[in-house]
């Protein structure tokens, strides 16, 4: 009996030592690297491709890579991501040759976006979106925009902030997350006439909606997204810009999801960021006014086919609406802080843009129809949604946030909206 106890003790000690050694290896070795494959993916940069690519980049990439301080895709700390992944900071993807992707080939960019492996072999951690199912033509549009002279991607000599992945992230990249295979044949998007297939393509392949609206980042299948845990049932714990918890929404047709919604209500939340009860969506979710009615209708048709999931995620803390300042009340009522922050210096810094309007009438005209001044702008058309008596107080409040053009620091962020 005594001999048995001794051997069991030795086995347990050996097991602990082995586990400690494995943990030390994972911690100090960090995220693994791989040998990238050389691929040829030529992209013709045309005005049409650039325009289409900008639309996709605004919806998919800008949320993480747009830095309000530079007004460009130079990256910034992602404080609203789940803390269990460690310190996350997106990288500079402008055309700067030292800090950005200015000297990358089209094939290297395509390989990174498809597989998650950079040209030097680095594997990008779980927080970077991979696009293994994106159609070749849409991927070419994205790369064409990254090659354009748009202010978002012009060379910006801004060093990256090095991410500090947690032990959990390092472990995941050893046991769960691996590079995705580069496609061995062309990928073609479904025709819009097949609404369900086209809607699935938008939500799964092009905009990656399922990754946030499923149950767990660590239990997703990028190649067959329907295999992901809690597919479109939501429940991932994120944080808003004030570091308060926000659980991603259930988008399935169950009554606890979108089962009681109408297509028009779904369209309104995507276009305007306003829920059926009038409340604004909370960051990190933001409106997607770039989406066409055809795309939204297809997305809705697809979501009605997703298996329903019953959920009971905690409701987010309500955004404060009432304020002694009537203009701030309007600002909060329509969810403006989700994109602009409470001080106007959010993901889309509006402060210099406000100062560029000499009169309140000019500013109000822009708020009503921003697309008339900046076609393709990532801001909803508010005419008909904000009530007429609310525009005056809103404009006066925005003036209090504005940075005078003469007082702006050199190189400060231009208005992104």
CATH number reported for the structural domain that contains residue 152 in this entry: 1.10.760
Name the domain count of the chain. Answer: 4
* Ramachandran angles phi, psi of 81, nearest 5°: -85, 155
In a domain, 96, yes or no: yes
In a domain, 308, yes or no: no
- The last residue of one of the domains, among 175, 206, 230, is 175
Domain, as residue range, for 9: 1-26
Q: Tell me: pLDDT of 408 over 50.
A: no
Are 165 and 261 part of one and the same domain? no
Q: How far apart are CA 355 and CA 361, in angstroms?
A: 13
Query: Is 349 found in the same domain as 249?
Result: no
Whether residues 141 and 234 fall in one domain: no
DSSP string, 212-255: HSSS-GGG--SSSGGGSTTTTT---EEE-TTS-EEEPPP-SSST
Query: What is d(CA 398, CA 355) in angstroms, rounded to the nearest whole number?
Result: 9
pLDDT given at position 404: 62
Question: Residues 115, 154: one domain?
Answer: yes
Question: What is the chain's length?
Answer: 417
Clarify whether residues 8 and 68 are in a common domain.
no
pLDDT in tens, 218-240: 889 999 999 999 999 999 988 87
Highest mean pLDDT among 56-60, 194-198, 278-282, 397-401: 194-198
Contact assessment for residue 283 and residue 332, using Cβ atoms and an 8 Å cutoff? no
Across residues 163-178, what is the average pLDDT?
Answer: 83
Per-residue pLDDT of 287-344, as tens digits, reads 888 899 999 999 999 999 999 999 998 876 556 666 678 989 888 888 888 788 888 8
Residue 57 lies in a domain: yes
Verify that 62 and 162 share a domain, yes or no: yes
**Residue 174 and residue 39: Cα distance in Å, rounded?**
25
Residue labelled with tokens 């050996």 = 14
pLDDT at 407: 42
Using the 3D structure, point to which of 303, 336, 356 is the last residue of a domain: 303
On whether both 126 and 205 belong to a single domain, the answer is no
The model's pTM is: 0.82
Distance of CA 270 to the CA centre of its chain: 14
Q: Domain check: are 131 and 240 in the same one?
A: no
Do the beta carbons of residue 163 and residue 118 sit within 8 Å?
Answer: no
Residue 319 domain-assigned?
A: no
Q: Is residue 310 part of a domain?
A: no
pLDDT digits (tens, 9 = 90+) for 16-28: 667 677 667 666 7
**Could you read off the pLDDT of 333-390 as tens digits, one per residue?**
888 887 888 888 777 888 888 888 989 999 999 999 988 888 777 788 899 899 999 9
Q: Is residue 269 part of a domain?
A: yes
> Which one has a higher pLDDT value, 60 or 13?
60
Q: CA torsion sign, 154 to 88 to 225 to 113?
A: positive
Q: 207 in a domain, yes or no?
A: yes
**Confidence at residue 124, expressed as pLDDT on a 0 to 100 scale:** 85
- Looking at residue 319, what is its pLDDT? 60
Q: Rg of the chain over CA atoms, in angstroms?
A: 23
- In this structure, are 53 and 167 located in the same domain? yes
Cβ–Cβ < 8 Å for 382, 398: no
pLDDT attached to residue 259: 95
When comparing pLDDT for 33 and 193, which is higher?
Answer: 193
In a domain, 320, yes or no: no
For the residues 3-21, what does the mean pLDDT come to? Answer: 69
Assess contact for 141 and 81: CB atoms under 8 A: no
Question: Do 120 and 81 have their domain in common?
Answer: yes
H or E stretch at 87: strand 86-87
> Mean pLDDT across the stretch 169-183?
86
Query: What is the structure's pLDDT at 88?
Result: 83
Please tell me the distance from the alpha carbon of residue 105 to that of residue 324, in angstroms, as a whole number.
54
- Please tell me whether residue 367 adopts helix, strand or coil conformation: helix
Same-domain check for residues 124 and 212: no
For the stretch 251-266, pLDDT in tens is 999 999 999 999 999 9
The predicted model gives 29-51 an average pLDDT of 92
Residue 72: which of 177, 150, 134, 175 has the closest Cα?
150
Read off the pLDDT of residues 64-107 as tens digits, 9 standing for 90 and up: 899 988 989 999 887 767 677 888 888 999 999 999 999 999 99
94-103: burial string, b at 16+ Cβ within 10 Å, e else = bbbeebbbbe
Arithmetic mean of pLDDT over the chain = 87
What was the pLDDT predicted at 98?
95
Distance linking the first and last C-alpha atoms of the chain: 76
pLDDT at 175: 79
Q: Assess whether 150 and 78 both reside in one domain.
A: yes
Contact in structure between 267 and 296 (CB atoms under 8 Å): yes
């Amino acid at each position: 009996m005594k001999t048995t106890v001794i051997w069991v003790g030795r086995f347990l000690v050996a097991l602990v030592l082995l586990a400690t050694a494995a943990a030390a290896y994972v911690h100090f070795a960090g995220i693994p690297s791989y040998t990238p494959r050389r691929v040829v993916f030529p992209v013709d940069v045309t005005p049409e491709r650039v325009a289409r690519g900008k639309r996709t980049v605004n919806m998919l990439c800008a949320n993480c890579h747009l830095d309000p301080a530079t007004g460009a895709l130079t990256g910034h700390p992602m404080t609203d991501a789940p803390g269990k992944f460690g310190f996350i900071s997106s990288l500079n993807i402008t055309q700067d040759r030292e800090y950005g992707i200015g000297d990358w080939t089209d094939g290297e960019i395509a390989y990174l976006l498809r597989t998650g492996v950079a040209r030097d072999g680095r594997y990008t951690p779980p927080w970077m979106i991979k696009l293994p199912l994106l159609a070749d033509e849409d991927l070419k549009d994205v790369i064409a925009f990254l090659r354009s002279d748009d202010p978002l991607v012009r060379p910006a000599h801004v060093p990256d902030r090095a991410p500090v992945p947690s032990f959990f992230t390092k472990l995941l990249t050893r046991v769960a997350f691996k590079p995705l295979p580069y496609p061995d044949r062309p990928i073609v998007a479904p025709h819009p006439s097949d609404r369900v297939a086209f809607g699935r393509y938008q939500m799964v392949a092009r905009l990656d909606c399922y990754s946030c609206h499923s149950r767990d980042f660590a239990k997703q299948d990028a190649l067959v997204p329907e295999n992901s845990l809690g597919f479109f049932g939501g429940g991932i714990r994120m944080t808003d810009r004030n570091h308060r918890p926000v659980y991603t929404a259930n988008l399935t047709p169950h009554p606890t999801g979108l089962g009681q919604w109408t297509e028009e209500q779904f369209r309104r939340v995507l276009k305007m960021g306003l829920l059926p009860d009038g409340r604004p969506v909370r960051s990190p979710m933001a409106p997607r006014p770039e989406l066409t009615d055809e795309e939204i209708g297809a997305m809705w048709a697809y979501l009605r086919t997703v298996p329903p999931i019953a959920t009971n995620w905690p409701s987010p803390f309500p955004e404060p609406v009432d304020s002694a300042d009537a203009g701030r009340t309007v600002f909060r009522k329509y969810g403006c802080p989700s994109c602009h922050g409470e001080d106007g210096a959010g993901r889309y810094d509006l402060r210099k843009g406000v100062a560029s309007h000499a009169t309140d009438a000019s500013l109000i005209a822009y708020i009503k129809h921003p697309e008339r001044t900046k076609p393709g702008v990532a801001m909803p058309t508010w005419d008909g949604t904000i009530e007429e008596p609310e525009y005056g107080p809103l404009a006066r409040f925005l003036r209090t946030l504005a940075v005078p053009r003469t007082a702006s620091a050199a190189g400060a962020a231009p208005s992104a909206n």
